[in-house]
Amino acid sequence: MTVRVRFAPSPTGMFHVGGARSALQNWIFAKQQGGVFVLRVEDTDAARNKPEWTEGILSALDWIGIARDTYEGPYFQSAYAGEHRAAAGRLYDAGRAYYCDCTREAVQARTGSQYQGYDGFCRDRGLPPGEGRALRFRTPDEGTTVVVDLIRGEPTFENKLIEDFVIARGDGSPVFLLANVVDDMTMGITHVIRAEEHLPNTPKQQLLWDALGVKPPVWAHVPVVVNEKRQKLSKRRDKVALEAYRDEGYLAAAMRNYLMLLGWAPSGDREIVPWSVIEEEFRLTEVNPSPAFFDEKKLRAFNGEYIRALPVDEFVAACQPWLTGTGTIAPPPWLPEEFDADAFAAVAPLAQTRIAVLSEIVPNVDFLFLAEPSIDEAAWAKAMKEGAADLLDAAVAGYTALESWDAESLKSTLEAVGAERGLKLGKAQAPVRVAVTGRTVGLPLFESLEVLGRERTLTRLRAARLRLV
């Protein structure tokens, strides 16, 4: 039997990091088993679906490393509406489902509670199909439904506690429970690897598989992903869009490494490992069922490690979207003709050790390409205190007289200027850094001045001195 797994997102918004984690787990499992990864877009919510969201799913999978030539599909759930209705009809004809005309208000009136489930009022009324009548599955009165789960063991559900649930709405359209089951049957899915939040639906779906005469798949419900307050990650409250992390400058390799650690860990005391190791060592049966904490600070640290591990030429290439404003990345604050590729290449090794996400490259190097530095007024106020004007005058004089414009000469000159005024280098360089770069922190100052050049450095120092008059 060929293993077939599926990832079935809905095109109703940005791509959730939890969904990306599930996609990766399905994809790796299929590769390990010599099986097939199927992408099925569940697009039956016509009011919320947008074509751009579907394309967003495909591009997000591309970015995370699941290339389009490595999976089957995409299939679209809307294309299988006929199969869904046919399955509902078979269940009705076999006596496994019945029509119900109860409104929610009527059920609440009979049960005296808005929280109690359906009371089975129409179970034996023998209603024929009709407008506004929903089709309900006839849940067995006795026995249990055992869900064999590779991660959670064998959760057992008493059938009498499962209400007769709706499988088709009053207009005849199947609900998610039935459509999902029929799609999996149609596509020959052997293993369903999905988020824990779907576990409560699983006994109902397994009952549908049994009623339709098909062996259920092997289930594996991976842990829910939570925030620092141990709340389930929410699109409304948390930063969950994979695209947002991509556009901020997280590397795909770092993201997929981190996502795979949400509920699982490679062997040994290590977390940052080659993808080949993850592909070889990942086991569904070793996934921890407890909620997995999505720690953005830890992800950021991961990303910094991955950035520092890049060869410099790859780092330069990775920064290009932020330097040029391509794709979904906002344009940088300088004009295209102001960008100097050689100057960036010269400072790239310095910047590479100091940023954790690629978008941080812009504030670190903008002073090289802007006609004038973008001054942080808080930094100016902090650096340009009493004595700053005198120090800038001395720095201008010292730098003007330099024969060799190199980092070591620039440093020794400013050290001497500071020493004459009883200042250590750290204090002496603060006004110079703000005058030239606009900020109190950034790349190593003297290497930056060397790349910026004599003329532009002196022009900025003099402009800062005039502002202090």
CA distance 288 to 465: 61
Active-site hit among 50, 160, 235, 424: 235
The pairing of strands 225-226 and 218-222 is unpaired
**Burial call 147-158: b when 16+ CB within 10 Å, e when fewer:** bebbbbeebebe
Residue type, 383: A
Residue type, 445: L
In this structure, what DSSP letter does residue 16 have?
A: B
125 vs 79, 208, 372, CA distance in Å? 34, 22, 82
**In the sheet where 97-100 sits, what is the strand order?**
97-100, 134-137, 166-168
Both tokens of 231, joined, read 């709340």
Cis peptide bond prior to 74, omega within 30° of 0: yes
**CA gyration radius for the chain?**
31
Identify the burial level of 301 via C-beta atoms within 10 angstroms of its C-beta, where 0-12 means exposed, 13-18 middle and 19 or more buried: middle
Residue type, 290: S
Active site residue 235: yes
Which residues have CB under 8 Å from 17's CB, separation 6+? 225, 233, 240, 241, 242, 245, 259, 294
CA distance 23 to 4: 13
End-to-end Cα spacing for the chain? 83
Q: How would DSSP label each residue in 417-460?
A: HHHHTT--HHHHHHHHHHHHHSSSS-S-HHHHHHHH-HHHHHHH
Alpha helices for 77-173 (secondary structure H) = 81-93, 104-111
358: closest CA among 234, 271, 253?
A: 253
Residues with a catalytic annotation lie at: 235
